[in-house]
Chains A and B, each alone.
Chain A
Amino acid sequence: MGRYLLRRLSSAIVTLWLLATIVFLIVSVLPGDVGRKVLGPFALKEDVARFNRQLGTDRPLLAQYFTSIRRLFTLNFGSSYNSGGLVRDIIFPALFRSGKLALLAFVITIPISIAAGIFAARRQDKVSDRIVVNVGLATSSIPEFVTAALIMSLFCVHWKLGKVFADPPAGTSVIGQLRMLLAPAMAMVIAYFGYIARMSRAGVIHGLQSDYARTATMKGLSKGKVMRTHILRNALAPTITVISVQVGYLFGGIIGVEKVFNYHGLGSTMLSAVKARDIPVLQGAVLLVGMIYMVSTLLADLLIAVLNPRVRLETTR
Chain B
Amino acid sequence: MSPHVETSVAAAALSVDNLEVAYTVRGIDRAVLRGVSFSIAPGEAYGLVGESGCGKSTTAYASMRYLPRNGKILSGRVLVDGDDVTNMTGSQLQRFRASEASMVYQDPAQAMNPSIKVGRQLIESFTLLGRSKADATNDALQALRRVRIADCERVMDRYPFQLSGGMQQRVVIAMALACDPKLLVLDEPTTGLDATVEAEVLDLVRVLREETNAAVLMIAHNLGIVRSLCDRVGVMYAGQIVEEGPCREVFDDPQHPYTVGLLRSLPRRGVRKTEQALATIPGMLPLIGTDLPTCVFVDRCPLADDLCRTVVPPVVPVGITGNRYTRCHHLDRISDIIEAPTDVPIGILAKSEDNPDVLELSHVSKTFRQRSTEVPALVEVDLQLGEGETLGIVGESGSGKSTLAKTMLGIESADMGGVVSLDGHAVAAKTAGRSADDKRAMQMVFQNPDSALNRAWSVRRILLRSVTKLTGIKGDEANDRVEKLAAQLRLTPRHLDLKPRQLSGGLKQRVAIARAFAGDPRIVVCDEPTSALDVSVQAAILNLLADLQAEQHTSYVFISHDMGVVRYLADRIAVMYLGRIQEIGLTDDIFNGPNHPYTEALLSAVPSLDGEITTRIRLDGEIPSPANPPSGCVFHPRCPRAIVGVCEVSEPPLVEVAIGHSMRCHISIDELRVLQQGH
**Hey, which bits of chain A sit against chain B, CB under 8 A?**
124, 210-212, 214-222, 229-230, 233-234, 307-310, 313
Contacts and interface: CB of A to CB of B under 8 A. Distances in A.
Interface stretch (B47-55, B91-99, B139-147): B91-99
Contacts of A214: 66, 105, 111
A310 B159 contact: yes
A122 to B, nearest CB: 11
B111 A219 contact: no
Nearest to A219: B125
B111 A215 contact: yes
A281 to B, nearest CB: 45
Contact of A221 (B94, B96, B107, B172): B94
Given A215-B103, A233-B115, 7 more contacts: A211-B107, A212-B112, A215-B113, A217-B97, A219-B97, A230-B113, A310-B115
A9 to B, nearest CB: 20
Nearest to B99: A220
Interface in B123-138: 124-125, 128
A219 B107 contact: no
A210 B110 contact: yes
Contact of B115 (A216, A217, A221, A309): A309
Contacts of A234: 113-115
B114 A308 contact: yes
B66 A215 contact: no
B236 interface: no
Nearest to B124: A219
A218 B110 CA distance: 14
Interface string B83-121: 000000001001111110011010100111111100000
A313 to B, nearest CB: 7
A124 B68 CA distance: 13
Q: Which of A212, A220, A229 has the largest count of B CB atoms less than 10 A from its CB?
A: A220
Given A212-B111, A230-B116, A310 B161 contact: yes
Nearest to B109: A211
B668 interface: no
Top 8 closest pairs, chain A to chain B, by CB: A220-B98, A211-B110, A220-B97, A212-B113, A220-B94, A309-B159, A211-B111, A215-B111
B69 interface: yes
A221 B103 CA distance: 14
Contacts of B125: 219
A222 B94 contact: yes
Interface in B647-675: none
B144 to A, nearest CB: 16
Which of A210, A216, A222, A308 gathers most chain B CB within 10 Å? Answer: A216
A230 B124 CA distance: 11
B512 interface: no
Contacts of A217: 66, 97
Contacts of B175: 215, 219
A307 B114 CA distance: 10
B212 interface: no
B97 A215 contact: no
6 contacts: A211-B110, A220-B97, A220-B128, A221-B98, A310-B115, A313-B159
Contacts of B113: 212, 215-216, 230, 234
A214 B161 CA distance: 18
Contacts of B98: 219-221
B162 interface: yes
Interface in B540-583: none
A307 B113 CA distance: 12
B445 to A, nearest CB: 30
B159 A212 contact: no
B277 interface: no
Given A212-B110, A214-B105, A221 B128 contact: yes
Nearest to A125: B69
B64 interface: yes
B169 to A, nearest CB: 12
Given A220-B97, A310-B114, A211 B105 contact: yes
Nearest to A211: B110
Contacts of A218: 64, 66, 97, 102-103
Contacts of A216: 113
Nearest to A210: B110
Interface string B365-390: 00000000000000000000000000
A26 B128 CA distance: 62
Contacts of B128: 219-221
B161 to A, nearest CB: 6
B162 A313 contact: yes
A81 B468 CA distance: 68
B64 to A, nearest CB: 6
Nearest to B102: A218
Pick from A214, A215, A221, A233 the residue with the most CB of B within 10 Å.
A215
A215 B115 contact: no
A154 B547 CA distance: 79
A285 to B, nearest CB: 39
Nearest to A230: B113
A217 to B, nearest CB: 7
A115 to B, nearest CB: 21
A217 B94 CA distance: 8
A124 B172 contact: no
A215 B105 contact: yes
B69 A124 contact: yes
B124 A308 contact: no
Contacts of B99: 220
Contacts of A222: 91, 94
B552 to A, nearest CB: 44
A167 to B, nearest CB: 44
Nearest to B160: A212
A309 B161 CA distance: 9
A214 B106 CA distance: 12
B100 to A, nearest CB: 9
Contacts of A309: 114-115, 159
Contacts of A308: 114-115
Most buried by B among A230, A234, A308, A309: A309
A127 to B, nearest CB: 15
Contacts of B105: 211, 214-215
Nearest to A207: B113
Contacts of B66: 214, 217-218
Contacts of A310: 114-115, 159, 161
Contacts of B69: 124
A210 B109 CA distance: 11
A152 to B, nearest CB: 44
Interface string B151-184: 0000000010110000000001001000000000
A230 B162 CA distance: 18
A239 to B, nearest CB: 15
A158 B107 CA distance: 60
A109 B99 CA distance: 41
B573 to A, nearest CB: 35
Contacts of B172: 215
